[in-house]
Amino acid sequence: MKKALMVWGGWSGHEPKQCVDIFAPFLSSVGYDVEISESLDVYTDEDKMMALDLIVPVWTMGEISKAQCKGLLKAIESGVGIAGWHGGMGDSFRQSTDYQFMVGGQWVAHPGGVIDYVVNITNKTDPITAGLDDFKMHSEQYYMHVDPSNEVLAVTRFGGEHCPWIEGTVMPVVWKRRWGQGRVFYCSLGHVAKDFDVPEARTIVQRGMLWASR
């Protein structure tokens, strides 16, 4: 049986526990033994980390120690997959550039707060996005600093209503990449648990987790 670790905490506004409650049952239903932790110290348990197939971080803001970050990155580099969404992975530890390097991006703004916007699928053949059409969201539209080495699967375009200087900017929403031998998946959707009532958003994260898994 494959093993997955979900680690949740940090800022409660992103409803980390509620989101874990959406995706932990999914992973169990497809054959994963799912462990749920509320402490970053689990990242320092090398034996446990190296035995995993998938890590799902759901932790916004906060701080990660050097030892915790080293343990996490070492596991991914060895081949353990990591998959996450929104601020639970893309705005976790603002002071840790090593962590951000692994993720492939970092949140910097969401102009206008919760707004209506469109997600455009740019890769219709990848297993994560195959068969999906463009779709609408009513949520935070993440503006991020993004690694150009990412393989981008979906994007969004910013209007100029809130920040005129970014009008027309095309921003990655879904990407995948490598960190050593490990697969890294990220999706900027998922401000709150209700966002995953949008079928495409939920499907992308579900498929992303399975793709990232060892």
Give 117-164 pLDDT, tens digit per residue.
999 999 999 999 999 999 999 999 999 999 999 999 999 999 999 999
Number of domains in the chain: 1
Domain that holds residue 126: 2-212
Instruction: Indicate which CATH number applies to the domain containing 144.
Output: 3.40.50.880
Give 16-50 pLDDT, tens digit per residue.
999 999 999 999 999 999 999 999 999 999 999 99
Spell out the residues 6+ positions from residue 38 whose beta carbon is closer than 8 angstroms to its own. 7, 8, 9
Q: What sign does the dihedral 177-179-185-186 (CA atoms) show?
A: negative
CA distance 102 to 99: 5
Model pLDDT, residue 116: 98
